[in-house]
A = this chain, B = another copy of it.
């Protein structure tokens, strides 16, 4: 089962068209990745500091399926996949939670966006490719 991150759309995420600015969907996906790592005991900031490695995003793609408004409640799923010795991909689905009118009935969810990022592990200084460290590889391979 993929990791799920709960997020509420904030006023600063929106733009003058009244809905979330497209690049903010990707920032929200990154938050889900940060939270998934933190829950796995791998906080991103400490990981960078401890290993001297960084895992920048080499590629992103996203399909924006539904507008999102300030106050919307989201559930963001994130699933890692190994790409190679130095790299992995993350698949994201942003679900918009639609509260049921009747509180006795379960909420429904509508898919608001899907996104995918590719990450490459490099040395922070030389920016040369490095194998994923074991703890990160384990998290990726656990899928």
Q: Measuring CB to CB, which residues of chain A are less than 8 angstroms from any residue of chain B? A: 8, 10-12, 14-19, 21-24, 26-27, 30-31, 34-35, 38, 43-46, 48, 54, 56-64, 67, 69-71, 117, 124, 127
Contact = CB atoms under 8 A, between A and B. Distances in A.
Contact of A48 (B12, B16, B57, B58): B16
A10 B26 contact: no
A54 to B, nearest CB: 5
Given A63-B58, A71-B34, A14 B15 contact: yes
Q: Is the interface of A mostly helix, strand, loop or mixed?
A: mixed
B71 A63 contact: no
Contact of A16 (B31, B45, B56): B45
B69 A45 contact: yes
A127 B34 contact: no
A24 B16 CA distance: 14
Given A10-B27, A11-B16, A44-B71, 13 more contacts: A8-B38, A12-B30, A15-B15, A15-B16, A16-B48, A17-B48, A17-B56, A22-B57, A57-B64, A58-B63, A58-B64, A59-B61, A61-B62
